[in-house]
Amino acid sequence: MRIGDIILNTWAGENNPHRYGVVVGYSSIRTNCYHSKATTKLLHSDGGFSQFFSSDDGFKVVGSIPILEQLAAFSRQNSEALESCQQLTTAKG
C-alpha cells in the first residue's frame, strides 16, 4: 500500500464511515519492549483517522488518488503566489 491508495475495510459494514479510507502515512506500534508492528494510517470521509496493522488481510486497495502530486502542485502554486506578493511589496517600498 502506498500513500494515496484508497482502501476498503472488508470488516466494516456498508453504512460505516470507516469502510473506505485513504492511506496518509505509516507508523509502528510497540507490542512489547522488544518488538513493534508496522501500521498504516487512514483518513476517512468523516474526517476521522484510524490505524491498522499493515499485515491485516481485511484491507484491500480499490483505487488511488494522486495526493503527493496534488500537494506538490499546491506547494508550487502557493510559493509562486508568495513570491509575487513579495515582489509587489518590495516594488512599492
Band (pLDDT 50/70/90 cuts) for residue 74 is confident
47-68 tens-digit pLDDT: 888 887 766 678 899 998 887 7
Residues 6+ apart with CB under 8 A from 28: 36, 37, 38, 39
Q: Where are the domains of the chain?
A: 5-92
Q: Look at residue 76 and tell me whether its pLDDT is greater than 80.
A: no
| CA 93/CA 87 separation, integer angstroms | 10
